[in-house]
Amino acid sequence: MAETTLMEKLVSLCKRRGFVFQSSEIYGGLGSVWDYGPLGVELKKNVKDRWWRAMVHARDDIEGLDAAILMHPRVWEASGHVAGFTDPLIDCRTCKARFRADKLQDAQCPQKPSKHPGEHSTCDLTEPRMFNLMFKTFMGPVEEQAAVIYLRPETAQGIYVNYQNVLNSSRQRIPFGIAQIGKAFRNEITPGNFIFRTREFEQMEMQFFVKPGSDDEWFERWREWRLAWHHSIGLTPARLRWHQHGPGELAHYAKAAYDIEYEFPFGWNEIEGIHNRSDFDLGRHQEYSGKKLEYFDQAANERYLPFIVETSAGADRVALTLLADAYREETVEGETRVVLGFHPSIAPIKTAVLPLVKKDGMPELAERIYHDLKRQFPCFYDDSGAIGRRYRRMDEAGTPFCCTVDGDTLKDGTLTVRERDAMTQVRVHQDQLLTYIRERVA
Ligand code: GAP
C-alpha cells in the first residue's frame, strides 16, 4: 500500500465512521482544527483513561491536577514562552502566503506549477521574522496591552505554579509527581498530517519532582516506563524508537531530552517527549513570582529547589498513532476486509450484539442482551443487512467482539462470539457473556 494512500484512507475512514471531522466543515473548515465524532471521542477517552490509570491510579507517588487554561501572563514570561516560543517566518509579498524559514524546502508555493517558495520568478520573499506561537486574547472588556493573556501552549506550567499547593495538601514527599490532561493551543505555522500537528490539542503531561543529583536516575526510569506504556496500549514495538536530542536541539529548559518516535506513513515523528528540565522551571517561577519554592527535606534537614523530570505526550497524536498502527486491509473470500485492529482496551466499541435474522424472537433477545452489556461498556446493536456485512462494519470500527443471537440461542442460551482478528467463533452462554467480554476488554 503506498504510504500517502494509507493516510488518505485513514482520513476518509475517520470521517465515514465518525472518528474525526474537520472543524466547522459546513463553513469550509478551520485550518488544522478537528472535531472528534462518536467513535473518535471514545478512542481518545480510552487513551486518556489508560494514561491516567497508569500515571495516577496505579501509583502512590503521583497526584492529579486540572489547572485552568488561562493563567497569569507573567507565567509565560517566567517560562520563557513570551521571549522564546517563536518560529522564523517568511512572507511572500506576491501571493501573500507565509512559510517557516527553516522549512522552505518542505513548503509549496501556491502559484502553479508547483514549486518551492522563492523558485518562481514572481516570488518576492521577505527577510525571516520571528513569530510567537501563543494565541493571545484579552481578559475583561478592554482590548488593551495590559489586558493581554494567552491560551496555554503547554499544560506543564499549571503544574509548576501549583507544585506547593499539591505538596501542602497531599501527603507527598519528594520524589513525587503531578499529572494533568488538558487542552493546549499553538498557532502552528506548518500544521498538518491530519491530527498530528494541530492548533488546538490535548496533552497528557506529568512532572516528577526529584532531589538534585537523583535526576539522571529518574530520567532513565521514566524513559523505560513510558515506552512500556506505549507497548501496553498495543502499538507495534518495531514502529517505536528513541530519538535523543543533540545539543543544538535541546529546548531552553532541558538538560537532557529523548523523544519516543513512531513510524507514521509520513515518516518517523515524535509522539512523546521525556525531558530532564533541571531546576529551570521552579527557579524561574521563584524569581518571577518572588515566592520561595524550595523544598525542605526534614529527614536530611536541608533545603533545595527540586529538579523536574517531565513526560509529555499528545492525546491526539497517540490517537492518530493507534489509528495508523491498527489499520489493515486483508482479502477474505475474494473481498477486501478493512480492520482497525485496536487493542481491546482502546477500542471505542467493545462488542456488538447482532440477531442472525430479524424474526423468531431473535431481535428481542439480542436487544435485551445488548442493553445488559451496555450498562458495563460501549456496545452496538445492529440488525440490518447480511451478517457478513455487519461483521465487516464492526471490523472497520475496530470492535473486538461480535455476539450473534441465532437459532441455538433460543434453545440453549448460547451465543456465537466472533473475535475480530482471527475471525474465530466460540459459543458462550448468555449468563457468562458479560464476564467473558469484560475479562478480554479491560
Ligand atoms: N511541556 C513540554 C512540551 O510541551 P512538546 O514536545 O512541545 O513539549 C509534547 O510537546 C507533546 O505534545 C508532543 O510530543 C506531541 O505529542 C504533543 N504536541 C505538541 N504540539 C502539538 C501539536 N501542534 N498538535 C498535536 N500535538 C502536539
Task: Read off the pLDDT band of 3 (50, 70, 90).
Answer: low
pLDDT (0 to 100) of residue 332: 92
Question: Which tens digits make up the pLDDT trace of 115-130?
Answer: 899 899 999 999 998 9
Q: How much of the chain, in percent, has pLDDT values that exceed 70? A: 99
Between 109 and 356, the higher pLDDT residue: 356
Alpha helices in 244-334 (DSSP H): 280-289, 315-326
Q: What are phi and psi for residue 337, nearest 5 degrees?
A: -110, 120
pLDDT (0 to 100) of residue 278: 97
Report which protein residue has its CA nearest ligand 1's atom 15: 314
Q: Is the pLDDT of residue 311 over 60?
A: yes
DSSP character at residue 145: G
Q: Are 413 and 383 in contact (CB under 8 A)?
A: no
User: Is ligand 1 within 6 A of the CB of residue 261?
Assistant: no
- Interatomic CA distance for residues 12 and 4, integer angstroms: 13
User: Is ligand 1 within 6 A of the CB of residue 312?
Assistant: yes
Report how far apart, in Å, the C-alpha atoms of 438 and of each of 54, 374, 377 are.
Answer: 19, 11, 8
| Amino acid (one-letter) located at 205 | E
Mean pLDDT of the 177-187 span: 98
Q: Is the pLDDT of residue 2 over 70?
A: no
Question: Which tens digits make up the pLDDT trace of 220-266?
Answer: 999 999 999 999 999 999 999 999 999 888 988 899 999 999 999 99
Report which protein residue has its CA nearest ligand 1's atom 4: 154
- The CB-side HSE value for 77 (13 A sphere, CA atoms) comes to 9
How many other CB atoms are there within 10 angstroms of residue 78's CB atom? 20
Pocket probe mutation, ligand 1, options 312, 316, 318, max atoms within 8 Å of Cβ: 312
- Interatomic CA distance for residues 244 and 338, integer angstroms: 36
Question: Which tens digits make up the pLDDT trace of 420-440?
Answer: 999 999 999 999 999 999 999
Strands 351-355, 379-381: pairing kind: parallel
Mean pLDDT of the 8-16 span: 96
Distance between Cα 314 and ligand 1 center (Å): 6
Q: How much of the chain, in percent, has pLDDT values that exceed 90? A: 86
**Average pLDDT value over all residues in the chain:** 95
- Interatomic CA distance for residues 96 and 171, integer angstroms: 56
C-alpha cell at 38: 462518536
Burial class (CB in 10 A: 0-12, 13-18, 19+), 346: buried
User: Is ligand 1 within 6 A of the CB of residue 393?
Assistant: no
**CA 420, 425, 426: angle at the middle one, nearest 5?**
125
Q: Is the pLDDT of residue 1 over 60?
A: no
- Interatomic CA distance for residues 430 and 422, integer angstroms: 22
Question: Which tens digits make up the pLDDT trace of 52-84?
Answer: 999 999 999 999 999 999 999 999 999 999 998
How many other CB atoms are there within 10 angstroms of residue 138's CB atom? 13
